[in-house]
Amino acid sequence: MSTANQKITEEIRAQAERLLSSGEVEAFLGYEKGSLPMSVRPFTARKPEDAGRLVWNSFCVLNLANYLPALLKSLEPPRRPGDPPPEGPLPRVAVVATGCWSRNIVVQIRENQVDRDRVTIVGVPSRGMVSAMKVRAAVNGREITAVTEEDHLLLVEGNGFRQEINRWDVVRDNCKTCRHPDPVIHDILIGKKAGQRQVQEPFAQVKDIESKDSARRWQWFAEAFESCIRCYACRNACPLCYCPTCFVDDSRPQWVGKSTDRTDTLLFHLLRAYHCAGRCTDCGSCESACPVGIPMRLLTKKLNMDVLEMYGSEAGMSLDEPLPLTTYDPSDPQGFVLTEREEKGGTR
Ligand code: SF4
Ligand code: SF4
Ligand code: SF4
Protein backbone atom coordinates (compact mmCIF):
# COMPACT_ATOMS: atom_id res chain seq x y z
CA MET A 1 0.00 0.00 0.00
CA SER A 2 1.23 3.50 -0.81
CA THR A 3 2.28 5.76 2.06
CA ALA A 4 0.87 9.28 2.45
CA ASN A 5 4.04 10.78 0.96
CA GLN A 6 4.02 8.39 -2.01
CA LYS A 7 0.44 9.43 -2.78
CA ILE A 8 1.44 13.10 -2.57
CA THR A 9 4.39 12.39 -4.90
CA GLU A 10 2.06 10.79 -7.46
CA GLU A 11 -0.33 13.71 -7.32
CA ILE A 12 2.44 16.32 -7.58
CA ARG A 13 3.74 14.50 -10.69
CA ALA A 14 0.25 14.38 -12.21
CA GLN A 15 -0.33 18.09 -11.59
CA ALA A 16 3.11 19.01 -12.95
CA GLU A 17 2.51 16.99 -16.12
CA ARG A 18 -0.91 18.57 -16.62
CA LEU A 19 0.23 22.16 -15.98
CA LEU A 20 3.32 21.83 -18.21
CA SER A 21 1.49 20.01 -21.04
CA SER A 22 -1.31 22.56 -21.13
CA GLY A 23 1.19 25.43 -21.21
CA GLU A 24 -0.42 26.95 -18.12
CA VAL A 25 3.06 27.19 -16.59
CA GLU A 26 6.58 27.26 -18.06
CA ALA A 27 8.18 25.69 -15.02
CA PHE A 28 7.17 23.60 -12.02
CA LEU A 29 9.25 24.02 -8.86
CA GLY A 30 9.46 21.00 -6.58
CA TYR A 31 12.07 18.48 -5.42
CA GLU A 32 13.97 15.60 -6.89
CA LYS A 33 15.81 12.81 -5.11
CA GLY A 34 19.32 13.69 -3.90
CA SER A 35 22.38 11.50 -4.20
CA LEU A 36 22.66 10.65 -0.48
CA PRO A 37 20.17 9.05 1.90
CA MET A 38 17.80 11.65 3.46
CA SER A 39 18.63 14.19 0.75
CA VAL A 40 16.44 15.86 -1.84
CA ARG A 41 17.21 18.94 -3.90
CA PRO A 42 15.05 21.67 -5.40
CA PHE A 43 14.19 20.78 -8.98
CA THR A 44 12.54 22.80 -11.74
CA ALA A 45 10.57 20.65 -14.19
CA ARG A 46 10.33 22.41 -17.56
CA LYS A 47 8.86 19.68 -19.78
CA PRO A 48 5.97 17.28 -19.06
CA GLU A 49 8.40 14.35 -19.18
CA ASP A 50 10.40 15.90 -16.28
CA ALA A 51 7.41 15.40 -13.98
CA GLY A 52 8.44 11.83 -13.13
CA ARG A 53 11.57 13.15 -11.39
CA LEU A 54 9.56 15.06 -8.78
CA VAL A 55 9.40 13.56 -5.28
CA TRP A 56 7.84 14.35 -1.92
CA ASN A 57 9.12 12.96 1.38
CA SER A 58 9.90 13.93 4.96
CA PHE A 59 13.27 15.44 4.02
CA CYS A 60 11.86 18.25 1.85
CA VAL A 61 13.16 20.81 4.33
CA LEU A 62 14.45 23.62 2.12
CA ASN A 63 11.83 26.29 1.62
CA LEU A 64 10.94 26.43 -2.10
CA ALA A 65 9.73 30.04 -1.80
CA ASN A 66 13.42 30.90 -1.66
CA TYR A 67 13.83 30.05 -5.35
CA LEU A 68 10.64 31.65 -6.62
CA PRO A 69 11.63 35.32 -7.25
CA ALA A 70 14.76 34.32 -9.22
CA LEU A 71 12.86 31.69 -11.23
CA LEU A 72 10.19 34.22 -12.20
CA LYS A 73 12.86 36.77 -13.13
CA SER A 74 14.74 34.21 -15.23
CA LEU A 75 11.65 33.72 -17.41
CA GLU A 76 11.26 37.42 -18.23
CA PRO A 77 12.66 38.73 -21.53
CA PRO A 78 16.04 40.45 -21.01
CA ARG A 79 15.78 44.19 -20.35
CA ARG A 80 18.32 46.98 -19.98
CA PRO A 81 17.87 49.71 -17.36
CA GLY A 82 15.32 52.21 -18.70
CA ASP A 83 13.68 49.75 -21.11
CA PRO A 84 9.87 49.76 -20.91
CA PRO A 85 8.20 46.82 -19.15
CA PRO A 86 7.47 43.88 -21.44
CA GLU A 87 4.05 43.85 -23.07
CA GLY A 88 1.57 41.04 -22.56
CA PRO A 89 1.43 38.39 -19.88
CA LEU A 90 4.74 37.04 -18.58
CA PRO A 91 5.48 33.30 -18.24
CA ARG A 92 3.98 31.64 -15.17
CA VAL A 93 5.39 29.04 -12.80
CA ALA A 94 3.95 26.53 -10.35
CA VAL A 95 5.44 25.94 -6.92
CA VAL A 96 4.76 23.35 -4.23
CA ALA A 97 4.02 25.00 -0.88
CA THR A 98 3.29 23.76 2.63
CA GLY A 99 1.82 26.03 5.34
CA CYS A 100 4.95 28.03 6.18
CA TRP A 101 6.23 28.23 2.59
CA SER A 102 2.87 29.58 1.45
CA ARG A 103 3.17 32.23 4.17
CA ASN A 104 6.63 33.14 2.85
CA ILE A 105 5.11 33.50 -0.62
CA VAL A 106 2.50 35.84 0.89
CA VAL A 107 5.35 37.92 2.39
CA GLN A 108 7.12 37.95 -1.00
CA ILE A 109 3.91 39.10 -2.71
CA ARG A 110 3.43 41.85 -0.11
CA GLU A 111 7.05 42.93 -0.58
CA ASN A 112 6.66 43.00 -4.40
CA GLN A 113 9.11 40.15 -5.00
CA VAL A 114 6.49 37.84 -6.49
CA ASP A 115 3.59 38.63 -8.80
CA ARG A 116 0.62 36.58 -7.59
CA ASP A 117 -0.79 36.41 -11.13
CA ARG A 118 2.30 34.57 -12.35
CA VAL A 119 2.25 31.80 -9.76
CA THR A 120 0.19 28.64 -9.41
CA ILE A 121 0.52 27.52 -5.80
CA VAL A 122 0.26 23.77 -5.35
CA GLY A 123 -0.55 23.49 -1.65
CA VAL A 124 0.42 20.47 0.44
CA PRO A 125 -0.75 20.37 4.09
CA SER A 126 2.34 19.55 6.13
CA ARG A 127 2.84 16.51 8.36
CA GLY A 128 6.07 18.02 9.68
CA MET A 129 9.47 17.44 8.14
CA VAL A 130 12.20 15.27 9.61
CA SER A 131 15.58 16.52 10.84
CA ALA A 132 18.40 14.48 9.27
CA MET A 133 20.57 15.57 12.19
CA LYS A 134 18.12 14.04 14.68
CA VAL A 135 18.06 10.80 12.66
CA ARG A 136 21.88 10.64 12.71
CA ALA A 137 21.86 11.26 16.47
CA ALA A 138 19.25 8.49 16.92
CA VAL A 139 21.63 5.96 15.36
CA ASN A 140 24.57 7.30 17.38
CA GLY A 141 26.26 8.87 14.37
CA ARG A 142 26.73 5.57 12.52
CA GLU A 143 26.91 5.84 8.74
CA ILE A 144 23.46 5.61 7.17
CA THR A 145 23.16 3.94 3.77
CA ALA A 146 19.36 3.96 3.32
CA VAL A 147 16.21 5.33 4.95
CA THR A 148 12.79 3.92 4.07
CA GLU A 149 9.71 5.84 5.11
CA GLU A 150 6.40 4.55 6.33
CA ASP A 151 3.69 6.87 7.58
CA HIS A 152 4.77 6.83 11.23
CA LEU A 153 8.11 5.03 11.12
CA LEU A 154 11.51 5.43 9.51
CA LEU A 155 13.55 2.34 8.81
CA VAL A 156 17.21 3.35 8.95
CA GLU A 157 19.89 1.03 7.58
CA GLY A 158 23.67 1.18 7.70
CA ASN A 159 26.68 -1.09 7.73
CA GLY A 160 25.65 -3.90 10.06
CA PHE A 161 22.52 -2.31 11.52
CA ARG A 162 18.81 -1.73 10.89
CA GLN A 163 16.87 0.51 13.24
CA GLU A 164 13.23 1.61 13.36
CA ILE A 165 12.63 5.18 14.51
CA ASN A 166 9.30 6.72 15.44
CA ARG A 167 8.86 9.49 12.88
CA TRP A 168 7.54 12.11 15.30
CA ASP A 169 10.61 11.67 17.53
CA VAL A 170 12.82 13.05 14.74
CA VAL A 171 10.51 15.74 13.35
CA ARG A 172 12.17 19.19 13.33
CA ASP A 173 11.60 21.44 16.35
CA ASN A 174 9.93 24.16 14.27
CA CYS A 175 7.46 21.63 12.81
CA LYS A 176 6.62 20.32 16.29
CA THR A 177 5.49 23.78 17.36
CA CYS A 178 3.84 24.74 14.06
CA ARG A 179 0.21 25.81 14.39
CA HIS A 180 -0.48 26.43 10.69
CA PRO A 181 0.37 23.30 8.67
CA ASP A 182 -2.13 24.12 5.88
CA PRO A 183 -1.21 26.45 3.00
CA VAL A 184 -2.79 29.88 3.61
CA ILE A 185 -3.13 30.43 -0.15
CA HIS A 186 -3.24 27.81 -2.89
CA ASP A 187 -4.65 27.26 -6.38
CA ILE A 188 -4.46 23.48 -6.19
CA LEU A 189 -4.62 21.48 -2.96
CA ILE A 190 -3.02 18.05 -2.66
CA GLY A 191 -4.22 15.89 0.21
CA LYS A 192 -6.57 16.87 3.02
CA LYS A 193 -6.22 20.00 5.12
CA ALA A 194 -4.89 19.27 8.60
CA GLY A 195 -6.57 22.25 10.31
CA GLN A 196 -4.99 24.56 12.87
CA ARG A 197 -2.89 22.57 15.34
CA GLN A 198 -3.15 23.13 19.05
CA VAL A 199 0.30 23.59 20.51
CA GLN A 200 0.43 24.03 24.27
CA GLU A 201 3.44 26.33 24.42
CA PRO A 202 4.79 27.23 20.98
CA PHE A 203 7.48 29.51 22.43
CA ALA A 204 8.66 27.19 25.24
CA GLN A 205 12.28 27.06 24.00
CA VAL A 206 12.47 30.84 23.84
CA LYS A 207 10.86 31.30 27.24
CA ASP A 208 13.26 28.81 28.76
CA ILE A 209 16.21 30.93 27.59
CA GLU A 210 14.49 34.14 28.66
CA SER A 211 13.97 32.77 32.17
CA LYS A 212 17.75 32.67 32.73
CA ASP A 213 19.56 35.64 34.28
CA SER A 214 21.55 37.85 31.92
CA ALA A 215 24.88 36.11 32.59
CA ARG A 216 23.42 32.70 31.72
CA ARG A 217 21.61 34.09 28.70
CA TRP A 218 24.91 35.49 27.46
CA GLN A 219 26.60 32.16 28.12
CA TRP A 220 23.88 30.36 26.13
CA PHE A 221 24.16 32.82 23.26
CA ALA A 222 27.96 32.70 23.11
CA GLU A 223 28.14 28.89 23.34
CA ALA A 224 25.27 28.18 20.94
CA PHE A 225 26.89 30.19 18.15
CA GLU A 226 30.50 29.30 18.93
CA SER A 227 30.97 26.76 16.12
CA CYS A 228 29.46 28.93 13.36
CA ILE A 229 31.83 28.90 10.37
CA ARG A 230 30.17 31.91 8.65
CA CYS A 231 29.31 29.88 5.56
CA TYR A 232 25.99 31.79 5.18
CA ALA A 233 24.04 28.67 4.24
CA CYS A 234 21.38 29.86 6.73
CA ARG A 235 21.03 33.20 4.95
CA ASN A 236 21.07 31.62 1.50
CA ALA A 237 18.31 29.16 2.44
CA CYS A 238 15.96 31.89 3.66
CA PRO A 239 13.25 33.23 1.34
CA LEU A 240 13.39 36.60 3.14
CA CYS A 241 17.04 37.19 2.21
CA TYR A 242 16.80 38.50 -1.32
CA CYS A 243 18.87 41.70 -0.93
CA PRO A 244 21.09 42.28 -4.01
CA THR A 245 23.97 42.92 -1.59
CA CYS A 246 23.69 41.53 1.90
CA PHE A 247 25.10 43.64 4.74
CA VAL A 248 27.67 40.90 5.44
CA ASP A 249 29.08 41.17 1.92
CA ASP A 250 29.32 44.95 1.88
CA SER A 251 32.84 46.31 2.22
CA ARG A 252 32.08 50.05 1.83
CA PRO A 253 31.04 50.47 4.55
CA GLN A 254 31.91 47.21 6.21
CA TRP A 255 29.04 46.78 8.64
CA VAL A 256 30.40 43.65 10.27
CA GLY A 257 33.76 41.88 10.30
CA LYS A 258 34.04 38.77 8.14
CA SER A 259 35.98 36.58 10.54
CA THR A 260 34.72 33.88 12.89
CA ASP A 261 35.68 36.10 15.81
CA ARG A 262 32.91 35.85 18.40
CA THR A 263 31.82 39.50 18.17
CA ASP A 264 31.59 39.40 14.37
CA THR A 265 29.69 36.13 14.40
CA LEU A 266 27.19 37.19 17.05
CA LEU A 267 26.67 40.52 15.32
CA PHE A 268 25.94 38.75 12.02
CA HIS A 269 23.34 36.55 13.67
CA LEU A 270 21.67 39.38 15.58
CA LEU A 271 21.43 41.60 12.51
CA ARG A 272 20.18 38.81 10.27
CA ALA A 273 17.50 37.93 12.83
CA TYR A 274 16.36 41.57 13.05
CA HIS A 275 16.10 41.73 9.26
CA CYS A 276 13.62 38.85 9.50
CA ALA A 277 11.51 40.38 12.29
CA GLY A 278 7.81 40.40 11.46
CA ARG A 279 8.54 38.42 8.26
CA CYS A 280 9.83 35.04 9.47
CA THR A 281 7.43 32.09 9.33
CA ASP A 282 9.63 29.73 11.39
CA CYS A 283 9.95 27.47 8.35
CA GLY A 284 13.25 26.12 9.70
CA SER A 285 15.02 26.22 6.33
CA CYS A 286 17.92 28.23 7.82
CA GLU A 287 18.47 25.73 10.61
CA SER A 288 18.12 22.71 8.30
CA ALA A 289 20.78 24.14 5.97
CA CYS A 290 23.36 24.69 8.70
CA PRO A 291 26.20 22.15 8.48
CA VAL A 292 27.12 22.47 12.15
CA GLY A 293 23.71 22.53 13.86
CA ILE A 294 23.56 26.14 15.08
CA PRO A 295 20.10 26.88 16.60
CA MET A 296 19.86 30.32 14.93
CA ARG A 297 16.08 29.88 14.52
CA LEU A 298 15.62 30.61 18.21
CA LEU A 299 16.58 34.24 17.59
CA THR A 300 13.94 34.70 14.91
CA LYS A 301 11.48 32.74 17.03
CA LYS A 302 12.02 35.20 19.89
CA LEU A 303 11.24 38.05 17.51
CA ASN A 304 8.17 36.17 16.20
CA MET A 305 6.97 35.89 19.79
CA ASP A 306 7.49 39.61 20.43
CA VAL A 307 5.74 40.62 17.21
CA LEU A 308 2.80 38.37 18.08
CA GLU A 309 2.55 39.72 21.62
CA MET A 310 2.98 43.38 20.66
CA TYR A 311 1.20 43.56 17.31
CA GLY A 312 -0.97 40.43 17.29
CA SER A 313 0.60 39.47 13.98
CA GLU A 314 2.07 36.29 12.52
CA ALA A 315 3.98 36.67 9.26
CA GLY A 316 2.28 35.91 5.97
CA MET A 317 -1.10 34.80 7.30
CA SER A 318 -3.05 36.95 4.87
CA LEU A 319 -2.58 38.98 1.70
CA ASP A 320 -4.54 41.90 3.19
CA GLU A 321 -3.19 42.20 6.73
CA PRO A 322 -0.86 45.22 7.14
CA LEU A 323 2.82 44.30 7.53
CA PRO A 324 3.48 44.75 11.27
CA LEU A 325 6.82 46.56 11.16
CA THR A 326 6.44 48.61 8.00
CA THR A 327 2.95 50.00 8.60
CA TYR A 328 2.70 53.03 10.87
CA ASP A 329 -0.19 53.14 13.31
CA PRO A 330 -0.33 55.84 16.00
CA SER A 331 -1.72 53.28 18.45
CA ASP A 332 1.26 50.92 18.04
CA PRO A 333 2.70 49.84 21.39
CA GLN A 334 5.95 51.62 22.19
CA GLY A 335 6.70 50.41 25.70
CA PHE A 336 10.00 49.00 24.44
CA VAL A 337 11.24 52.47 23.45
CA LEU A 338 13.59 53.68 26.15
CA THR A 339 13.55 57.46 26.47
CA GLU A 340 16.59 59.47 27.52
CA ARG A 341 14.77 60.51 30.69
CA GLU A 342 14.02 56.87 31.62
CA GLU A 343 17.63 55.93 31.02
CA LYS A 344 18.67 58.53 33.60
CA GLY A 345 16.26 56.97 36.11
CA GLY A 346 13.28 59.26 35.49
CA THR A 347 9.84 58.40 34.11
CA ARG A 348 8.67 58.50 30.52
S1 SF4 B 1 20.71 39.09 6.19
FE2 SF4 B 1 19.67 41.04 5.89
S3 SF4 B 1 20.92 42.13 4.38
FE4 SF4 B 1 21.50 39.97 4.27
S5 SF4 B 1 20.21 39.17 2.62
FE6 SF4 B 1 19.17 38.78 4.60
S7 SF4 B 1 17.78 40.52 4.82
FE8 SF4 B 1 19.30 41.07 3.27
S1 SF4 C 1 14.70 33.11 9.12
FE2 SF4 C 1 14.77 30.84 8.93
S3 SF4 C 1 12.83 30.17 9.81
FE4 SF4 C 1 12.57 32.35 9.30
S5 SF4 C 1 11.73 32.41 7.23
FE6 SF4 C 1 13.98 32.54 7.05
S7 SF4 C 1 14.64 30.42 6.74
FE8 SF4 C 1 12.55 30.36 7.55
S1 SF4 D 1 24.83 29.43 11.45
FE2 SF4 D 1 25.40 27.60 10.29
S3 SF4 D 1 24.65 27.99 8.22
FE4 SF4 D 1 24.68 29.98 9.27
S5 SF4 D 1 26.67 30.87 8.79
FE6 SF4 D 1 26.91 29.74 10.71
S7 SF4 D 1 27.63 27.70 10.13
FE8 SF4 D 1 26.79 28.65 8.27
- The kind and range of the H/E element at 147 are strand 144-149
108 alpha carbon – ligand 3 mean position (Å) = 23
pLDDT at position 252 is 86
Examine the pLDDT at 51 and tell me if it is beyond 60.
yes
Lowest-confidence pick of 72-76, 78-82, 150-154, 182-186: 78-82
Quick one: which atom of ligand 3 is closest to the CA of 235?
4
Cα 273 to Cα 296: distance, rounded to the nearest angstrom: 8
**Closest ligand by atom to 248 CA:** 1
Cα 209 to Cα 121: distance, rounded to the nearest angstrom: 37
pLDDT at position 73 is 94
pLDDT at position 346 is 64
Smallest CA separation from ligand 2 atom 8, residue = 283
**Closest ligand by atom to 227 CA:** 3
Smallest CA separation from ligand 1 atom 6, residue = 241
Examine the pLDDT at 348 and tell me if it is beyond 60.
no
235 alpha carbon – ligand 3 mean position (Å) = 8
161's torsion region: left (phi>0), alpha (psi -120 to 50) or beta? beta
Nearest to 289 by CA among 63, 89, 46, 96: 63
240 alpha carbon – ligand 1 mean position (Å) = 8
pLDDT at position 330 is 81
271 alpha carbon – ligand 1 mean position (Å) = 8
pLDDT at position 186 is 98
Q: What mean pLDDT is predicted for residues 278-302?
A: 96
pLDDT band at 121 (very low <50, low <70, confident <90, very high): very high
Nearest to 97 by CA among 4, 190, 228, 159: 190
Q: Is 118 helix (H, G, I), strand (E, B) or coil?
A: helix
Q: What mean pLDDT is predicted for residues 88-108?
A: 97
Mean pLDDT of the chain: 94
299 alpha carbon – ligand 1 mean position (Å) = 15
Examine the pLDDT at 257 and tell me if it is beyond 80.
yes
Residues at CB less than 6 angstroms from ligand 1: 235, 240-241, 243, 246-247, 272, 275
* Torsion sign across C-alpha atoms 121, 316, 282, 202: negative
pLDDT at position 347 is 58
Residues at CB less than 6 angstroms from ligand 2: 63, 104, 237-238, 240, 276, 280-286, 297, 300
pLDDT at position 88 is 85
82's torsion region: left (phi>0), alpha (psi -120 to 50) or beta? left
Q: What mean pLDDT is predicted for residues 258-268?
A: 93
pLDDT band at 323 (very low <50, low <70, confident <90, very high): confident
pLDDT band at 343 (very low <50, low <70, confident <90, very high): low
Q: What mean pLDDT is predicted for residues 45-60?
A: 98
Smallest CA separation from ligand 1 atom 3, residue = 246
pLDDT band at 342 (very low <50, low <70, confident <90, very high): low
pLDDT at position 81 is 87
Name the residue of 108, 232, 240, 245 whose CB sits within 8 Å of the most ligand 1 atoms, as the mutation to test its pocket. Answer: 240
Quick one: which atom of ligand 1 is closest to the CA of 248?
4
**Closest ligand by atom to 238 CA:** 2
Give the residue with greater pLDDT, 326 vs 160: 160
Smallest CA separation from ligand 2 atom 2, residue = 286
